[in-house]
Structure 1
Amino acid sequence: MNRHWKTLLVAAVVLTSLHATVVAAQDTTSTVTGQVVDPGDAAIVGAQIDLRTSNGAKVLRTTSDSQGRFMLRGLSGGRYVLDVLHDGFQETKQTLVLSGNVMEATRVQMPVSTLTQSVTVSASPALATETPVSQSQAEVSREDFKNSPAITVADIVSMMPGVTFVPGNGPRDVAISVRGSSTRQTYGVRNIKVFEDGFPVTQPDGLARTDLTDPHAYSSVDVVRGPSSALYGNYATGGAINFHTRSGSEIKGLEVGADFGSFNYFNDYATYGAGDDRYQLSVFLSNVRADQATVNNQFNTVTANILASFAATPHDRMTFKFINNDLDTNLSIRLSRAQYQLNPYQLGCQTYSVAFATNGCASVSVYVNGYNGTRQSLGAAEAGLNRHDRRTIVGARYEHDLTEKTTWQTQFVWDNRDANQPTSSSAYRGTLPSFNVMSDLLRHGSTLGRSSTTVVGGFFNYENINSTSANLMPGGNATIGGATQTVQGSHLNSGFHARQEMSLGERWTLVAGLGGEYTKLSALANNFSYPVGGTPTISPVTANRPFFNVAPEVGVQFRPDNAWRLHARVGTGYGTPQATQLFTTPQGAFGNNTTLKTQRNIGIDTGADWALSSTLQLSGTFFYEWFRNEQVTQSPGVNLQSFTFNAPASAHRGVEASLDWHPLPQRLTGLRLRTAYTYDNQIYTDYTEQLTTGSVTNTFARSNNRIPGVQPHFLDGRVIYDQSTGSLRGLGGYVEATWRDQYFLDNANLLTAPGYTLLNLSLHYDPPVGHGFTSRLRFFFDLQNLANKTYVGSAGNITDSLNTSGQQNGASVLANSTGSIYAGTPRASYGGVRVRF
């Protein structure tokens, strides 16, 4: 930890020196403050405010707060255009001329849009992968999480309808789900594509991990919901997530922060930003470490995130991206339901003893000699279970305006994942380098006399797979025994997408898209066995699987008036198997599973967004999706490997809703109520499961059973207050309640993970401008899980079993199935301070 801390300290000193140099070379800067209001002078909340140079280059982006106010700091002299957008209002622009050290105040009054204006197809977004028209989507801005510890990405997506999450295998490893997309596994992000500043951070095999995501670095997050392979390609059966870091002009200087809290939690971070109409640079560094409540979960993570862009000419732009994350964490063992009830935080379970079973302690069973014969049980700390992973991403994007209305974008990403994961009785080590090339033409103009946006492009990505699995053995520090499996191979995806958004008259926008993709899995697995008294054997399994998938979509958006947006869509998605899934059998052993099929889904969405006024916004969506060969992952036990199987047919249906309401805009302007609700009902419609014990085999119909791991109800609500006037201006906070329903853990629907309700309190003080050095500071304090409730934070699916007569074992037996549960964090407090230089 000292090494990581010294590295961060040196980096912060360098950034401070760089900032001092830049400041010394600059003239004084200006600040723009303002308020966005409607024709009746009521504050407009959540307006998007872009500050652009006179040639149209974006310098800063922010959103109006609960009083419609905004602030743009650190601006050099010159002519700027303030561009303000909000649903139901006309786009409004103001010209600003800044010179010297001034504070410019402005007031933006947005006229209500006409029907024709409300359906004009906008030239934004700049990237083809962001916020497609007619699709269900949600956004959170930095205003929603900047005054909180934001320990993991879960803290910034909790207020998004349709989005759920569970902790994974590590401190910031969060399995984010869109409509339950990642709930059938307990780590990483699958079945949705993840982007950062337009660069893909999902590798070609479909896996993204949020270990590299420190929420302090981001300005906003967009989520696109529903089957989306027509635009995003393979593994987009659930949709996509777009993370956006802060621009240099938004930061404009150096920010240093320190968060601290329960279980020895510390996060030291620094952000540097600079920019003008020609270039933007932002650099983020952080070092976070903690012990955590559950035994053997100490961690230390160092993250670097850099975004740089410049305009070479008025028609040529370059963007560069760099991410590096070094994760070093111990890891506890997932529990059975019975162990969780006895000892959720695994207290006193460091070293194995005969009292382990009585005390609810989990253990792994390893070969004494590392190969065969006698086994010995070890606790997680005693065995040295951990993860030490490094992820490095380098990306570059070139944009060239072919004409005034047509832009060519090409980007390249190199992404390397080094994994060292002795997480159970078997250790996994792998190096998985990959690259991703994408090229698109975007045209904003007219088609058949109609305003339209057209995207046509292609992509190619490739991943090299090299991994070794081996037995753990006694000796501590994850001592490695004999190899059990090696996998060498590759994963290739290549395809195209085409999409058009066309305005049909005053009220309607039509969307149509098509994507096609060729996927090739080529891999060789060598499985090793060590018979007692015999000769070791190697059993090779070859996978050479080509796939070709096509995904169409069609959607429509209707604006009956300036308060309503109605949308409907039919979309499709697909996800091919990953190479590693092909080499683990349903018995949890290394072997042949190469018959695994591509999962496909087709879904319908219909929804409405209603902005009654700037103080009340409602959103609701109904969805129904049909899956074929859905891939479901289960754990057969802590000493075995999780495996994946195909369910022939299943259905996902549900409702997503959100509310953003300022109930007393005149008397208590800072009072705000926000809620996000998801109902997600997922069932098997055609699936018969075969179970075996010894020589006894039986089959069971699972049709109409709930798919395990999916939380049917998720509700998050906040009562927020921010003081906007008087001596207490800048003081605020919220009370939050989160409710999750119970959900099944097995295909027979016999065992459940219990539901729970959590209460959180957050307070902050953001001193307003004009208070000297104090205005550079920001303070916050959070108290999470106020009632100190013990709850299931994460639970993996388990495999049903048979008794000796061939009948299913009941819930009391399944409750002893290990490898499933992590307990959530008990009551914890966090505080922090940030300072701007």
Structure 2
Amino acid sequence: MSRLSLAVAIPAIALSSVASAQDRADDIVITGRALSLTTKVTGQTVTTVDEAAFRNTPATTIADIVKLSPGVAVTQGNGPRDVIVSVRGSNARNGFGARNIQVFEDDFPVTQPDGLARFDLTDPHAYGAVDIVRGPSSARYGNYALGGAVNFRTRRGRDIQGLEVGSDLGGDGYGNVYATIGHAGRGYEYAVFGSFVGGDGATGHTGYQTGTLNAYATYALGDRDRVAAKVIYNEGEFALSTRLSYNQYLANPYQQGCERAATAASGCGTISVLVNGVNGTRIAQTAAEGDLARNDRRTIAGLRYEHDFGADTTWRTQATFDSRVVNQPTSATPFKGTLDSYNLTSDVTHRTGGTTFFAGIFYNYLDNQSFSFNKTPAVRNGFGAPTQTVFGDIRNLGARARVEMTVTPTLELIGGIGIERSTIDVRQTAYAYPLNASPTITLIPARRDFSNVAPEAALFWQALDAVRLHARVGTGYGIPQANSLFITSAGVFGNNTALRSQKNTGVDIGAEIAFGDHLTGEVTGYQEWFTDELVSQSAGVNLLAYTSNVPKSLHRGVEVGVSWRPLPGTKIEASYSYNDHHYTDFSERLTAGTMSVVVDRDGKAIPGVFPTFVNARAGYDQPRGALTGLGGFVEVTYRDRYFIDNANLLEIPAYTLVNANLHYDPPKGAGWWSRISLYASVQNLFDRTYIGSASVIANSLNAATGAQNPAVVLANTTGSIYAGQPRTIYAGIKSRF
């Protein structure tokens, strides 16, 4: 795989057949001869974004990295560092974290067995590259890989060879102090990263502080044995604002003057809390008044062992422990939980001639212990009577196999299959507190077993020296979330245990073109057929998001990436993505009072998905002389308008953002000043007010007429919108020792 320092990278089938020295070192020290997870994926569309693309930028969240890939859209999640990453429209409906894609770090899993990963887990300054695999990939990555996979790779000790310290400052009280120590020697390598980050946030009540430790080390036990170890620790305190209705956003996008509900300015969001935390009288509170917040702690520890049976056969075994402890008074029903998981894999790679054989088994287990409560007016610690508990476990057990066969020097065939048995075995206890009556307790057990098979086939053809082609058929699947089994379409606790696995069969055809080192490009077209797609949407303010199955939907689109270096030091990079995602078989029931209507959604666009988005960057870095490393760039981001309801009535406006960057990053060995790097950046240069995130909302009926309420009514549906970041200036300095 070529290692590209591109804002828009070309798919990971190498543009050059000669691996770099660092690739060869990776093979020897880190992965041996085992089949790599994401760095050498053949026959599939893969983008690698190298550290050079984001090294001299604020990189406040991982959005600053992954947004540079075609086919990837990023929106704001719940909290200042949380972002939602959507690959080909996957995860677009989710309000936080990552679902429908598998996430890894240094080949260790970050997605837990319930399908959730959080992108506020670590600091982007720790990373040296990120690989984004696009398209349904359950044959390779298992459950939840409907949209593909993302693998973050931390910086290697050999690239550091000492100590680096840095600091970033920015508007709205943003500050980040970080350091990395790393070294590599004969048979060993390590890198340890730590940071402390905080900020006040542009939107009212969105301040935060979070600390991160991230370490990765490898050690050769001998000529045939290697071990790798991984540790991630993150803990953060996040103040959260409420999501707004569209009309509230127009009136007060950054929620200023919202300290108290009694004196709140126009457009402030509120939640309704019980005065005594059980039943009876409710009062309205703003986010600041109720001190809505998250205090989450994540600990991941993994160990990988590899043994070569000979020159052609490698056995690899890996174990990962992942603990997620959450305390989230974020709404009218605060949530607490401890979710510890265990992930085991073991596989064998055998290479003979031009053919690679791979086979492996895997098992993962999540122990779910979670609690929900009524919120009281007593700010962050205002936990009232319990509303539900969920105890149980989620298990995935399976096997996968793959063969990559070189038929001719220019043609390679790939085939694979994954088989998986998943079990959700959980028990919900729901608590109700009727007025003037005794509390009721309802136990709902849910034991669901799912069996899924995911085949794939692909070919890769070196048509010409400058042209590479691939074609692929892949499949993906994802079981429901455990909590989705206990939330009805009314947005309240109850039985929703009939949910089925969602499945995706996709075809994509791609081409790469390389005209020397100055112009490279890629284009990929895809079409994916979903069955039983799991969709979630808000039932309204103070109600819970619920999930349902859509019998059939169609996802299709085009992804284009270009990188051009017309003159020494100049670079122009751009990506274009088009998504046409719509329902082909879906009828939705809407109810209001005694009215109940079934509405046909066939042909409607799937809400939350950007139809078109573009990223482009034009820059210059002085290539030689005394000012080598002095440069800058201008970056433009465009996001098309999109719907946020199944009836396609309420549309979020399009927006265009411009960022500007100036930096000085001299090469190593240029003198004492080469130990210092500087940058200054302006994000959202023209201070555009835009919607940074909009959760999907439920359509509703007019109780008198039975007609669907129009967009002017939906525009008052709260719990959906966060404003994007206004113009913000950042500056940073980094020193190497």
TM norm structure 2: 0.96
Verify: 1:396 aligned to 2:303, yes or no.
yes
Shift of 1:631: 0.6
The whole-number CA distance in structure 2 between the counterparts of 1:807 and 1:93 is: 66
Q: Which residue of 1 aligns with 2:378?
A: 475
Verify: 1:817 aligned to 2:717, yes or no.
yes
The whole-number CA distance in structure 1 between the counterparts of 2:338 and 2:156 is: 32
* Counterpart AA for 1:369: N
Runs of 4+ in 1 over 3 A off after TM superposition: 63-66, 88-94, 122-126, 128-131, 768-772
The whole-number CA distance in structure 1 between the counterparts of 2:408 and 2:661 is: 47
Q: Which residue of 2 aligns with 1:56?
A: none
Residue aligned with 1:230, SS: helix
- Say if 2:35 and 2:358, in contact at 8 Å, map to a contact too: no
The whole-number CA distance in structure 2 between the counterparts of 1:351 and 1:709 is: 31
Shift of 1:825: 0.4
1:513-592 pair list within 5 angstroms? 513-592=416-495
For the structure 1 residues 718 and 125, does the alpha-carbon distance in structure 2 shift closer, same or farther, using more than 3 Å as the test?
Answer: farther
The whole-number CA distance in structure 2 between the counterparts of 1:517 and 1:163 is: 27
Q: Which residue of 2 aligns with 1:16?
A: none
* Counterpart AA for 1:517: E
For the structure 1 residues 90 and 485, does the alpha-carbon distance in structure 2 shift closer, same or farther, using more than 3 Å as the test?
Answer: closer
Shift of 1:477: 2.3
Q: Which one of 108, 120, 125 corresponds to residue 211 of structure 1?
A: 120
The whole-number CA distance in structure 2 between the counterparts of 1:165 and 1:511 is: 31
Q: Which residue of 1 aligns with 2:365?
A: 462
Q: Which one of 111, 119, 133 corresponds to residue 42 of structure 2?
A: 133
The whole-number CA distance in structure 2 between the counterparts of 1:346 and 1:817 is: 16
Q: Which residue of 1 aligns with 2:587?
A: 688
Shift of 1:171: 2.0
Please identify, of 454-463 and 125-134, the stretch whose mean Cα deviation from structure 2 is larger: 125-134
Shift of 1:800: 0.3
- Say if 1:261 and 1:831, in contact at 8 Å, map to a contact too: yes
Q: Which residue of 1 aligns with 2:201?
A: 292
Q: Which residue of 1 aligns with 2:133?
A: 224
Q: Which residue of 1 aligns with 2:696?
A: 797
- Say if 2:2 and 2:19, in contact at 8 Å, map to a contact too: no
Shift of 1:129: 5.0
The whole-number CA distance in structure 2 between the counterparts of 1:132 and 1:622 is: 18
Shift of 1:767: 2.6
For the structure 1 residues 614 and 809, does the alpha-carbon distance in structure 2 shift closer, same or farther, using more than 3 Å as the test?
Answer: same
Q: Which one of 252, 273, 290 corresponds to residue 366 of structure 1?
A: 273
Shift of 1:733: 1.1
Q: Which residue of 2 aligns with 1:424?
A: 331
The whole-number CA distance in structure 2 between the counterparts of 1:699 and 1:632 is: 17
* Counterpart AA for 1:326: E
Q: Which one of 529, 536, 546 corresponds to residue 626 of structure 1?
A: 529
Shift of 1:47: 5.3
* Counterpart AA for 2:421: Y
Shift of 1:769: 4.2
RMSD: 1.7
* Counterpart AA for 2:275: V
For the structure 1 residues 536 and 265, does the alpha-carbon distance in structure 2 shift closer, same or farther, using more than 3 Å as the test?
Answer: same
For the structure 1 residues 484 and 734, does the alpha-carbon distance in structure 2 shift closer, same or farther, using more than 3 Å as the test?
Answer: same
Q: Which one of 342, 350, 357 corresponds to residue 435 of structure 1?
A: 342
- Say if 2:658 and 2:683, in contact at 8 Å, map to a contact too: yes
Residue aligned with 1:132, SS: coil
Residues 184-242 of structure 1: CA distance to partner in whole angstroms, max 9, x if unpaired?
Answer: 11101111111111101100001000111211001110011101001111000101111
Residue aligned with 1:143, SS: helix
Verify: 1:616 aligned to 2:539, yes or no.
no
Residue aligned with 1:533, SS: coil
- Say if 1:463 and 1:492, in contact at 8 Å, map to a contact too: yes
Please identify, of 502-511 and 565-574, the stretch whose mean Cα deviation from structure 2 is larger: 502-511
1:202-351 pair list within 5 angstroms? 202-351=111-260
The whole-number CA distance in structure 2 between the counterparts of 1:500 and 1:768 is: 42
The whole-number CA distance in structure 2 between the counterparts of 1:65 and 1:598 is: 37
The whole-number CA distance in structure 2 between the counterparts of 1:91 and 1:495 is: 33
- Say if 2:34 and 2:315, in contact at 8 Å, map to a contact too: no
* Counterpart AA for 2:729: S
Q: Which residue of 2 aligns with 1:19?
A: none
Shift of 1:160: 0.4
Shift of 1:64: 7.2
Shift of 1:727: 2.5
The whole-number CA distance in structure 1 between the counterparts of 2:20 and 2:370 is: 55
TM norm structure 1: 0.85
The whole-number CA distance in structure 1 between the counterparts of 2:497 and 2:5 is: 53
For the structure 1 residues 597 and 822, does the alpha-carbon distance in structure 2 shift closer, same or farther, using more than 3 Å as the test?
Answer: same
The whole-number CA distance in structure 2 between the counterparts of 1:231 and 1:770 is: 42
Residues 40-85 of structure 1: CA distance to partner in whole angstroms, max 9, x if unpaired?
Answer: xxxxxx954xxxxxxxxxxxxxx6799xxxxxxxxxxxxxxxxxx9
Q: Which residue of 2 aligns with 1:831?
A: 731
Residue aligned with 1:813, SS: helix
The whole-number CA distance in structure 2 between the counterparts of 1:456 and 1:723 is: 48
Shift of 1:124: 6.8
Shift of 1:560: 1.2
For the structure 1 residues 93 and 273, does the alpha-carbon distance in structure 2 shift closer, same or farther, using more than 3 Å as the test?
Answer: closer
The whole-number CA distance in structure 1 between the counterparts of 2:32 and 2:164 is: 33
Q: Which one of 385, 400, 406 corresponds to residue 497 of structure 1?
A: 400
Q: Which residue of 2 aligns with 1:87?
A: 15
The whole-number CA distance in structure 1 between the counterparts of 2:19 and 2:475 is: 33
Q: Which one of 352, 357, 362 corresponds to residue 261 of structure 2?
A: 352
Residue aligned with 1:817, SS: coil
The whole-number CA distance in structure 1 between the counterparts of 2:585 and 2:616 is: 36
Verify: 1:185 aligned to 2:94, yes or no.
yes
The whole-number CA distance in structure 1 between the counterparts of 2:17 and 2:379 is: 64
Shift of 1:785: 0.4
- Say if 2:6 and 2:53, in contact at 8 Å, map to a contact too: no
Shift of 1:123: 8.8
- Say if 1:230 and 1:573, in contact at 8 Å, map to a contact too: yes
Larger radius of gyration: 1
The whole-number CA distance in structure 1 between the counterparts of 2:332 and 2:128 is: 41
The whole-number CA distance in structure 2 between the counterparts of 1:711 and 1:616 is: 28
The whole-number CA distance in structure 2 between the counterparts of 1:454 and 1:141 is: 29
For the structure 1 residues 91 and 522, does the alpha-carbon distance in structure 2 shift closer, same or farther, using more than 3 Å as the test?
Answer: closer
Verify: 1:720 aligned to 2:616, yes or no.
no
Shift of 1:663: 1.8
- Say if 1:136 and 1:607, in contact at 8 Å, map to a contact too: yes
Shift of 1:355: 5.1
The whole-number CA distance in structure 2 between the counterparts of 1:249 and 1:408 is: 26
- Say if 2:34 and 2:349, in contact at 8 Å, map to a contact too: no
- Say if 2:5 and 2:53, in contact at 8 Å, map to a contact too: no
Task: Identify unmatched segments of 5+ residues in structure 1.
Answer: 1-45, 49-62, 67-84, 97-121
Shift of 1:157: 1.2
Alignment identity in percent? 49
1:147-162 pair list within 5 angstroms? 147-162=56-71
Shift of 1:761: 0.2
Shift of 1:638: 2.3
- Say if 1:557 and 1:567, in contact at 8 Å, map to a contact too: yes
* Counterpart AA for 1:424: S
Shift of 1:88: 4.0
Task: Identify unmatched segments of 5+ residues in structure 2.
Answer: 8-12, 25-30
Shift of 1:720: 1.2
Verify: 1:510 aligned to 2:375, yes or no.
no
